[in-house]
Each structure stands twice: as structure tokens, then as C-alpha cells.
Chain A
Amino acid sequence: MSWPAASTGPRKRRPWRARPAAVAGFLATLAAGAAQPQQLIANLDVSPQALTKNEARLYFAMHLVRWPDKRPVRVFVLPDKHDLHIAFCQHVLEFFPYQLRTGWDRQVFTGTGQAPTVVANESELIQRVATTPGAIGYASSAPANPNIRSLEVR
């Protein structure tokens, strides 16, 4: 008779002990999200207002090379080891940077596709997206540039 009593005791209390931890975890997630609001950015002439996650993956993997209005897509990225590149890959595309690199290398070295243009830093990336028709890239926050629009990734 003592066996069920001993087991129900902790089972009853556990949700109460777990709750503060869950709240803390939720807050931590919010904080992390707020600290890394990577934005998918595009030149103002790019027609879509938002992209699905799959569409964003196809454009950055360079499998889709034209926008719905048939104009060419120009992709700009930072070096593989750049923190913003890693964060954008993992949080927005949910790819690991090495997966994108493997795909680009496969395309370039089999003649079945091309690689994106790699630029040195975030300000150059924003500049290139702002001045290149059909360009997409990313930024650590929505840039205040009249030639750039942030695209929501759903």
C-alpha cells in the first residue's frame, strides 16, 4: 500500500516544480529570438512580399534562379564561418552552413548550377542587395535603406 503513495507524491508535485523552469525556458527562447532577428532582405524590385521556408531554401540553395516574374535571382551571402551567416542558415533556413556549401559545390563542379556571390561583411552585403536588381541576402536587423525590403519567411 505504501508503494503507490510514494509514487503519487512526487508525481503530483512535479508539475509545480517544473513550471518556473518552463517559464524561464520560454523567456530565454524569447530573449534568444530577440537577440538574433535575422532578416531576409531583398532589392525593392523583388516582387514577392513574403516567402515560405521552402521557397527561401530554394532561392538560397540556388535551385530556383528566377523570380515569379521571370527575372533572375541574385544571391548574396557572407563567408561560411561568419556568425550572421551561421545564424541565418540555422534560424531562418534551418540548414547547417556546411549543407549549403556542399550543395553549391556540387552544382559548380558538375555544371548543373552556380554558387552565390560571397561578400566580406554585412554592410557590403546590404549595399550589394540595395544596388542589384533581383537581389536577396540577409541582415542582422531590418536595414534603413529605401532600396531594400525585408521579406517575411513563414
Chain B
Amino acid sequence: MPESHTVSAGPADGRAGGPGGPGPVPPPLSGAWAPVPVGDPAADFEPRPPGGPLYRPDTVHDGWSTDAVTVRLASVRGNAHRFRGRPREDDVAVAVHAPTRTVVFAVADGVSAAEQPQVGAALACRGAVDDLLAQLESGQAAIDWKHVVDSAAYQLVARVAGTGGPALAASKEAERRYATTLVAGAVQVREHGVLSLALVQAGDSGAWLLHRGSGHYEPLLATKFSAGDAVISSAVTPLPRVPSPVVATTALLPPGAVLLVGTDGFGDALGDGTGAVGRLFHDHLSTPPPARGLAHLLDFSRETFDDDRTLLAIWPRHLLPGTTP
């Protein structure tokens, strides 16, 4: 049975009183809702409603623990989309395959140049996680990572073509409508409780191991900052294009680290992790914050960083406060 994990973070709410009657009125939370400023904060404004036929909430967050890991995630609409009345184009999905104690997840960043990137991101995440669960359920010896990426990519094509046969035209149309990046992965419990992780990537979303003691962010995947070019590129190769070959990145998830998987809205601001954003997340992710706390943290305000941001964090339960080793 999953073990609950109690954490305390965020502003104290001042509630006293018990079941016997109303307690004292809580003090006002002046300023507690404001975004966390980092450097020069962005301009303050009231967001416009997202356009489009689908309901896309501005922010989603989630969090829970198994006996092996604690999971937190948040996805927040960027200021540029809030200002211009566009939906959040990032998405994230996570699930547990209980029989194998495996946590599977996907993070996606719809490409703005596409027509409905938010649909692409949602389809890719669900497609990848569904396929991972199906593979684990089948009892096969190892995860077929190419199949995971293919399945996520084909979700976009199938959305165009229905359930009919394959067609290059449908693929091209899917790219025009639904192009999205994807990072999919799994954290598995090995012998003696050792945690291993595997990741696959299409596009420029990233993943890091944050070493909780040193604050060092160890990049696990290539991102736009890996190239060291004079200028950065905004070009990306997303699904439904599938990298060839699909190569899974594998690593151990040591007890002193936390796995972070995020879109470039987080990764660009993080850079190599030595700046203010890196320090902010190191300070607050050394132990798991409440999921709503992660959403608030991720919605930090820093000028020019106005993209959607999505972050999934997975801590090994071993060594966390309140956990019996």
C-alpha cells in the first residue's frame, strides 16, 4: 500500500479552532499569492482566457508517494500565453504500474508553430504513458522504448486519420496540427531497493538529476544549451517525427538526488543551474514540497521567461524526512 508522506511548506494558514466551533479569523495572506520574483520580475497583469474549443486549465499540479518514490508535478501557463489569451501548450502525465512498482511518466511541449499544439502535447503524454503501462502489464522482459515513442507519435497521426490505415498525408497533417516534444520515462525498483531510471526524448525538453546536497544539476538529456553555439536556435524536431535510432538514456536514481523532467520553459530559465533559478529550486526541492507549492514555485516571475513551464520531480523515498530507512 502506498505510504503517505507528510510535508510542511508554504505560508502558514493561521487556522486554529477545532470541531467545536469557529476559531479565530485567519490573518490576511498579504503578498503570499504573488509569484516568487527572480531577478527582474515580469510585468504584472490579469491573464486573458485561453481560446480554443478545449478546456485547458491555466495550472495543473499533482503529487503522491508510493513506498519507493515521492512524485510531484506542475504545469503552468506561461505569461506570453496568459497575456495573449492562448492555452497552455505543455502537458504531463504520470502513473504507477503497481505490480512492478514502476512509475511511468511523460512530459510534452506543444510546438507553437503548430495549429493545436496543446492537443498534441496531451495526446503524446497519454499515448506514451498508456503504452508504458501496457508493456509493463504484458510482462515483457524489458521496455521497448522505440515502441513508446512510436505510439506517442502515432497518437497524433491517428487523431488525423481516425483508426484507418497509415498514410503519409495524415502524418504530415499531424505534424502541422499537433507537433510536440516529448520526454517519456520510467523509474523502476531494482534489487535491494535500488532505483533505476530510463528516458527517451524527441525534441528539446530536458531532464536532470538535482543532487540535493551540492545543488548540482546533472543534465541527462541534450537541450538547446548543449551545443555551445553563438546564438540559440528556436528550431525543434518534434513528434510525429521520431528520432532514429531511439536510444534510451539510463541511470541510477541515487537516494541523494531528485529526478527532474521539464520543458524548456523551465530548462531555459535553469540554464546550467548555477544561477538564481537553480538556487531557488535547489532550496525548495531538497525535500518534496506540497504539489500546490511546486506549482507556485514553478510560476516564478522573471523577465523574458514567459513560456509555459512544466516540471515533474521524483524523489527516492529513502533518506527523506519521515521515512523509515
Do the two chains belong together in a single complex? no
Query: Which residue numbers of B lie inside 8 Å of A, CB to CB?
Result: none
